[in-house]
Structure 1
């Protein structure tokens, strides 16, 4: 597809995302059309759709912005299609979704931008996306879900838990990926979590979860999960991975439980003899938010390729967590103070690094802005869209 045609599609979607109500209206138009035009599809989705509508709009935006790199788009859509098998989605459902997507784009794009040529271009793009997903779902021979048993649940902060599981059979994934999980306390609701340890032949997985007060699932994950609970886990997703053949060193930036996928990769690298240099900036508001800092320090003390830079906004813990602030071990990087993105950006351009960012959507946005303002090429930066 010509660059000019792709640019028109990107402009069209940007006009939808630019307004406060545009993304919600777009997602609602899509799902309403899908359910009305394809009988039985409503039953495939949970009753509460707020988070799913947000993830849908985020995923579409990620794909549209990368249409010039269709290999990356194809890999992402293939993962997403395989993940949707857990809902009972079949290949024909993706084609119905294509019709609904074209309707939603037409409905929500400003009238002044919508032309017959733009509609043809969108139809071509959507057709290619749909066939990619339908083919991936139809040809996948792995299970739609895996069963797992909770073997450990540790509250490391009032709102953060580390949960350890053993799967019935190992899930074929790599360090840096995330998965959707369904817990017995919230049936039919799925939550995406990143594995915090690399894969192993025993099927052991560790997830780090922060409670979100407005969330449906995270409060149950932190407060209600018990050893012995049985979970369902969907197929692995995500593209965070260190390219060992690029010759580039690595910059990793994490806040809160966003540390998990980066931690898993660092642990896997620690099993190898030779690695690129890794600078990890690990941030939070209070020192206690860096709940796994000691693990990172232990790895750094025996692996000179790893530099861990703690970053906090306050130099003391809050009143509700009156724990003394830990001293930095001799020879390791001292704690820095300020907003995470601003601290990383003040080092100038990181144009010679492959960069991974993991954390909340707002943290990712502000950090990308700070890096870009310092001269870091956008194509060097990786993050997971969901």
Structure 2
């Protein structure tokens, strides 16, 4: 998640000044702006539930009126997403230049965050539980960017302005009111989640680098000491900001279960043009201070069951898998754990020695290193098993996760027992 583009207004915006051109957009005339009368005094009525992920058309008959109007707008602006995003930032920074400091200095890492978040929220509009969970996560995560309730109206104002311009064919007063009601509800969920989180956790932690081990020319194991207790669960991830690229945050999984000494370890691979990853691999040294966002992620062990664990880790995706193994070991149970560690070359198996030592210490653990340039890791897993009595955990490149989910479903593993995080978004932000 990136700072503030996923946020929406919590209150009526003030009259705006003339819009101007941004660095990434040509000059535009200011579009008609919503009047205060269009902003609701209360949140919209609860919507009927509909399962997420289905095509929009079959869901329309069961969707709420607001959801139908919002989805209609999103379908119209889809082909011009880049223009909508550029215009949104032009409006936001021209009318509210004080907000520019919340964003990275270079906006090329920021381009599609807004529309992606909008599409995600719109797709879940009629599933109140899923939408609320998603927005609460955003609200908590945005604290580290310095987002405050007073920022929401400005962002919503710019967003409505961009939609007014680029959804001209479907835009009318009824559609505007639907969007405003939706934003008001969405923003309030985020504001409430941030306020609740503020009572129990800081917006960010400082972490001093205490160890930096270069395992390969482009992979480093980085260990940091947080300045105050940092609670997390094995299998979760966090976001990191380096002193070299202020306001640029990237996600990394914890490479161990919580430790008595409180240290946190991450496996980082430097990717081409990756600002944060290259800084962490090639520039970070003991004594440097990073900032850490709150923990997130649901790829954690269910300790209420004795099911075995089937773990697929590709590349640095082995980091949270290692943490899961340590978590099971610390519980003292003897649940079978099967780890498939995938890599394209021997060189890429940078943590195989650690995994084999864990296997020697725990007879219930089986580690298989899979090295094959032509065959995909999920396809090889089909040759083993059966896996119908296992909970599956997948971590690695998004393509591997997608293929892994399909492969595991194909051999009878129920979808509810296949665990991974939304790594498409994480991978988009990797670097």
Matches within 5 A, 1:188-203: 188-203=247-262
Output the TM-score relative to the length of structure 2.
Answer: 0.71
- The structure, 1 or 2, with the larger RCO (C-alpha pairs under 8 Å, 6+ apart) is 2
**Aligned with 2:400 (options 356, 360, 363):** 363
Distance in 1 (CA, whole Å) between partners of 2:186 and 2:388 is: 32
Residues 169-188 of structure 1: matches in 2 within 5 Å? 169-188=228-247
CA distance in 2: counterparts of 1:266 and 1:39, whole angstroms: 48
Q: Deviations over 1:205-254 (max 9, x none)?
A: 10110011121221111111111111221221222212222554433222
User: In structure 1, which of residues 313, 328, 343 is the aligned counterpart of residue 380 of structure 2?
Assistant: 343
Deviation at 1:103, TM superposition (A): 5.7
Q: How does 1:281-360 map to 2 (within 5 A)?
A: 281-314=340-373, 338-344=375-381, 353-360=390-397
Is the Cα contact below 8 Å between 2:70 and 2:175 reproduced in 1?
no
Query: Quick check: 1:149 aligned with 2:208?
Result: yes
Q: Which one of the candidate residues 189, 208, 211 is aligned to 1:132?
A: 189
Matched, 1:51 2:109: yes
Closer, same or farther in 2 for the Cα pair 1:169/1:349, shift >3 Å? same
Distance of aligned partners of 1:64 and 1:150 in 2 relative to their CA distance in 1, 3 Å threshold: same
The Cα of 1:256 is off from its aligned counterpart by: 1.0
How many Å separate the matches in 1 of 2:154 and 2:108? 21
Q: SS where residue 319 of structure 2 aligns?
A: helix
With over 3 angstroms needed to count, the CA separation of the structure-2 counterparts of 1:131 and 1:72, relative to structure 1, is: same
Query: Following the alignment from structure 1 to structure 2, what is the Cα–Cα distance between the partners of residues 110 and 281?
Result: 51
Give the deviation of 1:166 after TM superposition.
1.0
SS, match of residue 217 in structure 1:
helix
* Deviation (angstroms), 1:38: 4.5
In structure 2, the residue matched to 1:208 is: 267
Whole-angstrom CA distance in 2 between matches of 1:205 and 1:14: 41
Cα RMSD for the two superposed structures: 3.5
Which residues of structure 2 form unaligned runs of 5+?
1-46, 51-61, 427-431
Q: C-alpha distance in 1, partners of 2:172/2:386? A: 41
Q: What is the SS of the residue equivalent to 2:202?
A: coil
Q: Secondary structure at the match of 1:185?
A: coil
Please give the TM-score of this superposition, normalised by the length of structure 1: 0.78
Tell which deviates more after alignment, 263-272 or 353-362. Answer: 353-362
Bigger CA drift: 136-145 or 37-46?
Answer: 37-46
For 2:318, the equivalent position in structure 1 comes to 259
